[in-house]
Structure 1
């Protein structure tokens, strides 16, 4: 980092199977949408010789080939793997979507990686770092993942590397901003007619060498007399930052005593501090321009990855148990150890079928062997539990739309596995005679409901299979068959997530669906005591029907359900038909008496009735009981009960007032607040569910992407009359 002068990778860039974990680097790129992550990946692939200047791989296809949905969305919507080779090391670059709706893909990338590159745009982030990016930084910090920062879009007008670096120091540095410092400063050429001076090279703060990219190939030259003073202050600050993180406690005293610290010692300490996640270097990068072979900063970034980022041997593997929950020894990154791999992404190919992207944490995965598939099961999201054996298909590594075959995937590596028909994202692959189950990573909870219906009868026949495949690919999506509203509901992370899901149903599985208004599961109850008489008497030749019953209905406290009481005297209703009356009123209560929502929290008392010795029957008294309940409801005000949910909103202190005001406008009641550390507040509130259908979208807008919330059912309670009237009118207009 700053000392090497070789600008050639020494390899063709084609990343084959790794032969040892120490030659692997797994790096996830993180940043908001538009920060330049995908462009940076392509620049690194170009610098390593993996693609040519047209962006094409040697055996056809383009690295930037995305699926049809990504082209239509004009953004990345899924995790993608790009393996390259540099200096005899295989680097697995994991490009993640930057849009908040696809945070599930980001979390999968974090699980598969050993270090993270945070990509920040000097053009778009001039007022600060996106809130979602800050939250991911904190997640990485919590698990000690090594991180570095790459500033892009320096070619944009008014883009300032120095200003953006200072913003990164304040945002990511926390209590120790000197742990976030640049390793290089950009050098600008002659200003263009518009006054903007292009970045033509970098000057290494440790090596004090100039790396010139202006010719299209990186060259190294000594600095001019005028360039040395401009980096002196930044160099001193960097040296002090490195020494502060050094394991050599004498180094600071020696430096403060005036001793010139050897550059090799500084670089060694820098690499160690980066690898253990205590120092976060800032670099600059720009894509290759014109006929350039190397994009600015790509060599420096590759050196950081290969020399500063940890190998899989240095990262702790997830905890494992047996599928039954028994204890197991901790995993080590040993190709000869027990097989333990995890599916971090599932996708479908129209020609190959299901493809599973797998991170191998222990052992060696080989084609055509039988493995055990264990899954935690996410029944609430439509994912079944797994505990089966499956035969592994071909192993490959992706490159654009190409798949290059692999003979094996050792501990620490990533590979694509074909034809695992049962395995889903998050499942564990292990030896069939030694099954293991990995501790799951945190999945974001989908909180935006989308009710869907098949567009046609032909689509209806394919809908179930299409939905099952869809949720198998995406564990952040939850499928619900609502028993109260009888709607099929997809719970998504946001509107973009919803759009991609519906488009995948259409494009991949040939299922056209329509989004329809989501119905909240309301309830009905009696507003006051009422009486009803059910008379079911029919005589039309042959066996007749005769049943009469009189009931009284009175409201009960919330949560009481339906209570049936028999107060018949004198045998007016024969004993054998009293259960029939109860069955009839309960069936009618389930269907509702006013708006088609279930009736709850009432006591129904059977007072009197009449029967016929020949024509009375079980069916007749069921019908009479239902008629009596409907008549009682016709003479009484029926209250609508709406579900109220407990909501916990974790928000930056800057937005507490706005969020509380917004919750109040949704008829919410704030029941408490508490500090959560890191400048955040947890707001606890109770809000009618009908008011927060789009809260996942609205909170993101209100908090600039920094807010999170959780929800859980609390109870049903009476809906205000004006709101109830509006709901009645809406449902009447919809014919429901």
Structure 2
């Protein structure tokens, strides 16, 4: 690698197309926020000739100009596709957000890609390799996805390429540190007054050549005498690492026997080892200087991507079934095969409407053809989001995104990606297939949103638009969930974190013109009787003509949790006529639903109708309903009322180093730890029961406790009596409420 003559396609202004899967590379960029992923994408676009020397597309925008929210926040918040061409290969770069709140966009990128570039900042030392990044590395390793590492921010005063490479080997090469090795060493220029020597190029370890970018153009030369000792030492280690992963078992014996392995053999073995996901080269890259045509290391990185990363032909197609669950034969990446594509992202454009980013796994997708749309509902959560969707839709225009532009395409072959306009029914995760052979792809896992955001329309004008705006947000982002809570009557948008929630509100305002107010999220409390009580309901009114007359006497006693409301009739002698007994029950149940102390539903009691009185003319269904409600309220006034709070079963998966902090935190939330068990990868599963009032912000707090590596799930367990001091606080709030 490093001595090829490259053809620069000059693709600016034209859509990059692919005729066959072998001419495509799908690469996702992974790294925490601020590591330099987007800057790297722009540098690669410049080197590939997709943008001009100012880094601009012909309309003056950059390849990273996608979303106004990103501009305001100076942070990527969504998955973006940048297609490039290099040496006749189409490279689809998938730039993902690095912030944990947008992990859904990252997982969509992993689904669509065949290889990953992990971007690590040399300026941040150990902090540049976060626990969350290591977890993504492990996920890629579990499925055998090829990975390489790109070191950025080499010009920082703290940058130390040798140190960051060693740290990468420790973090990512736990099983085999010699499988994480650099392909190039940085070339430093003259030392400045501050003692810092800028990086001006690279030294190729396999090619033993110097690639100097100081002039703004990549120039090749022989290494100097002072560069040979470190070059030889690093080169020997690299060769040993490559040979150790070689499929040619005789190569190690030849090398140990003193044979000089030729350059071509080493490069071929390196590329095969990278494609198999067993060797992970470390490269360095930096953006181009002002007026330069190439950034440092960008040519070398594009060589690795096109030569070492696998084609879609080598990536297994996700399993498919018929919509009814009937098994189907495993598909292959064949442009002539049956159509099987997947919506990996959905977005809305104010001018074009809905745009779906689609990865075609089999067959060829063309504009204006009719496809079958089939979906699981919300990605990774089975059929909970909505019932299985099936519909035929006509595909709109196909295009390749480039910044704010959409460049037309005539087709999208298996292995490639494209944007599809006007798929009104398709949502993220849905499958597109031939209408005569409908298919459904196995969904990918998405995290469950666990941070509640209760919202209401700001004004009357916003009420009509709110529901549609929220529905569109959820359709675009499967890591959001919309809930209309029947107990609290709140509209709740469940998000992954505070930044996720802020972006949702910003898009509601900017994209859909909906102003909303955020209100305190309510937890569905309950009320119940602490002991036995009796009550008498008397509803007697005379106002001329027919009056209202109904009297009933009841007894209320508590029942075990989960019993609900029982109504028992023990009236004798017809004191309450038979036709009005259901009326009493209806009134009791209506009052129980409204609550008897703080406005929360009454549960787990038995109400027994003992006696009553009726009038031959003035008694009615409505009168006895009112009397039943009054009797229940009187019984409650003379009895102790417990407030019941929901308790959740919480399962926290966290690294062993953070178990103590997590368990202590759960105890501080009035939680009861009920067990722990070891999990793979040096993690522990902590099981606890915690009041839901205490875990409203746990999605945010756990991230801080575990340095972004902890995960948790929650499920309703039961309602339990609330502590007296906390209960009194809620009673006081109910008394002072307007």
Aligned equivalent of 2:53: 53
Distance 2:422 2:311 in 1: 29
Indicate if the aligned counterparts of 2:656 and 2:684 stay in contact, CA closer than 8 A. Answer: yes
Q: Distance in 2 between matches of 1:670 and 1:664?
A: 8
SS state at 2:226 partner: coil
In structure 2, what is the Cα distance between the partners aligned to 1:588 and 1:240? 79
> Does 1:507 find its partner at 2:510?
yes
* Kept in 1: contact 2:6–2:87 (CA 8 A): no
Unaligned runs of 5+ in 2: none
SS of the equivalent of 1:123 reads helix
**RMSD of aligned C-alpha atoms?**
1.3
Out of 387-396 and 718-727, give the one that drifted further: 718-727
The C-alpha deviation readout for 1:425-457, integer Å capped at 9, x for no partner, is: 111111111111100011110000000000000
Task: Give the SS at the match of 1:515.
Answer: strand
Summarize the alignment of residues 632-643 of structure 1 with structure 2, pairs less than 5 Å apart.
Answer: 632-643=635-646
Out of 401, 417, 420, which is 2:420 matched to? 417
| Pairing 1:347–2:347 present | yes
Match of 1:600 among 588, 600, 603: 603
One of 485, 490, 493 as aligned partner of 2:488: 485
Q: Is the CA contact (8 Å cut-off) linking 2:530 and 2:639 kept in structure 1?
A: yes
Give the structure 2 partner of residue 312 of structure 1.
Answer: 312
Deviation >6 Å, runs of 4+: none
SS at match of 1:300: helix
**Shift of the alpha carbon at 1:348?**
0.6
Contact residue 381 and residue 479 of structure 1 kept, 8 A:
no
In 1, the alpha carbon distance for the partners of 2:393 and 2:276 equals 37
- Report if the CA contact (8 A) 1:70-1:77 is conserved: yes
For this pair of structures, how many residues does the alignment match?
734
Whole-angstrom distance in 2 between the partners of 1:63 and 1:467:
29
Q: Could you say what secondary structure the match of 1:646 adopts?
A: strand
Q: CA deviation at 1:525?
A: 0.4
In structure 2, relative to structure 1, the CA distance for the partners of 1:566 and 1:658 (3 Å cut) is same
2:324, 2:433 → 1: CA distance?
14
SS in 2 for 1:372: strand
Note the alpha carbon deviations across 1:652-688, whole angstroms, 9 max, x for none.
1111111111000000001111111211111111100
| Separation (CA, whole Å) in 2 of partners of 1:729 and 1:517 | 17
Shift of 1:346: 0.5
Q: Tell me what 2:5 maps to.
A: 6
Trace 1:257-296 onto structure 2 (pairs within 5 A): 257-296=257-296
Given that 1:25 and 1:310 are in contact with CA atoms closer than 8 Å, whether structure 2 keeps it comes out as: yes
| Distance in structure 1 (CA, Å) of the matches to 2:487 and 2:498 | 24
- The residue aligned with 1:206 is 206
Match of 1:121 in 2: 121
- Higher mean C-alpha displacement, 457-466 vs 722-731: 722-731
Q: Note the C-alpha offset of 1:723.
A: 1.0
For 1:512 and 1:380, the matched residues in 2 are separated by: 31
User: In structure 1, the residue corresponding to 2:316 is in which secondary structure?
Assistant: coil
Residue 621 of structure 2, aligned match among 580, 600, 618? 618
1:184 is matched with 184
Equivalence for 2:440: 437
- Say if 2:222 is the partner of 1:219: no
Q: Deviations over 1:506-542 (max 9, x none)?
A: 1111110011000000000011111100001111111
- Residue 86 of structure 1 and its aligned partner are, at CA, apart by 0.4
* Structure 2 residue matching 1:43: 3-state secondary structure: helix
Distance 2:233 2:587 in 1: 86
SS in 1 for 2:124: coil
- Measured in 1, the distance between the counterparts of 2:254 and 2:700 equals 55
> 1:624: how far off?
0.6
Paired residues of 2:20 and 2:413 also in contact (CA < 8 A)? yes
Q: Distance in 2 between matches of 1:606 and 1:95?
A: 68
Query: Could you say what secondary structure the match of 1:543 adopts?
Result: coil
Partner in structure 2 of residue 494 of structure 1: 497
Aligned residue runs from structure 1 range 682-697, under 5 A: 682-697=685-700
Distance 2:436 2:657 in 1: 54
> Could you tell me whether the CA contact under 8 Å between 2:187 and 2:200 is conserved in 1?
yes
Instruction: Say whether the 8 Å CA contact 1:383–1:472 is kept in structure 2.
Output: no
Residue in 1 aligned with 2:35? 35
Gap change, CA 1:463 and 1:79, over 3 Å in 2: same
Cα distance in 1, alignment partners of residues 59 and 437 from structure 2:
39
Match of 1:591 in 2: 594
d(CA) in 2 for partners of 1:291, 1:587: 75
Distance in 1 separating the partners of 2:552 and 2:297: 87
Kindly indicate whether the alpha-carbon contact (under 8 Å) linking 1:11 and 1:88 is maintained by their aligned counterparts in 2: no
1:668 matched residue in structure 2: 671
> TM-score, with normalisation over the residues of structure 2?
0.98
| SS, match of residue 77 in structure 1 | coil
User: Following TM superposition, by how much is the alpha carbon of 1:5 offset from its aligned partner in structure 2, in angstroms?
Assistant: 3.6
CA displacement, residues 544-595 of structure 1 (integer Å, 9 cap, x when unaligned) = 1111111111111111111111111222111221111111111111111111
What TM-score do you get using the length of structure 1 for normalisation?
A: 0.98
Partner-residue secondary structure (3-state), 2:371: strand
CA distance, structure 2, for counterparts of residue 10 and residue 542 of structure 1: 94
Q: Distance in 1 between matches of 2:9 and 2:501?
A: 45
Q: Choose 381-390 or 93-102, whichever is displaced more.
A: 381-390
Taking structure 1 as reference, are residues 731 and 112 closer, same or farther at Cα in structure 2, changes over 3 Å only?
A: farther
Does the CA-based 8 Å contact 1:381-1:478 persist in structure 2? Answer: no
Deviation string 1:221-262 (CA, Å, 9 cap, x unpaired) is 111111111122221111111111111111122222222222
Secondary structure of 1:710's aligned partner: strand
Matches of 1:383 and 1:106, distance apart in 2: 23
In 1: Cα distance, 2:374 partner to 2:9 partner: 41
Per-residue CA deviations over 1:34-58 (Å, capped at 9, x if unaligned) read 0000000000000000001212123
- The answer on 1:456 being equivalent to 2:459 is yes
Say if 1:83 and 1:92, in contact at 8 Å, map to a contact too: yes
Larger mean CA deviation between 99-108 and 53-62 belongs to: 53-62
Deviation, structure 1 residue 174: 1.1
Partner residue, 2:76 = 76
Residue in structure 1 matching 2:707, options 704, 708, 711: 704
1:566 to 2:569 alignment: yes
Deviation at 1:292, TM superposition (A): 1.3
Contact 2:181 2:238 in 1 (8 A): yes
Deviation at 1:65, TM superposition (A): 1.8
Paired with 2:659 and 2:191, the residues of 1 have a C-alpha distance of 45
Distance in 1, Cα, partners of 2:175 & 2:28: 25
Within 2, Cα distance between the matches of 1:237 and 1:250?
Answer: 18
Give the drift of 1:16: 2.2
In structure 1, what is the Cα distance between the partners aligned to 2:384 and 2:345? 16
> Could you tell me whether the CA contact under 8 Å between 1:15 and 1:90 is conserved in 2?
no
Q: Is the 8 A contact 1:381 1:480 kept in 2?
A: no
Return the offset for 1:124: 2.2
CA distance in 1 between counterparts of 2:396 and 2:441 reads 22
Aligned equivalents of 1:673, 1:294: Cα separation in 2: 53
Q: Is 1:373–1:388's contact at 8 Å kept on the other side of the alignment?
A: yes
Q: Which secondary structure does the structure 2 equivalent of 1:124 belong to?
A: helix
> 15-24 or 480-489: which moved more?
15-24
**Relative to structure 2, which stretch is displaced further, 121-130 or 420-429?**
121-130
> CA separation of 1:517/1:362 partners in 2, compared to 1, >3 Å: closer, same or farther?
same
Q: Is the 8 A contact 1:11 1:87 kept in 2?
A: no
Aligned mate of 1:538, from 532, 538, 541: 541
| Structure 1 position 598, deviation (Å) | 0.6
- Tell me the CA shift for residue 731 of structure 1: 4.2
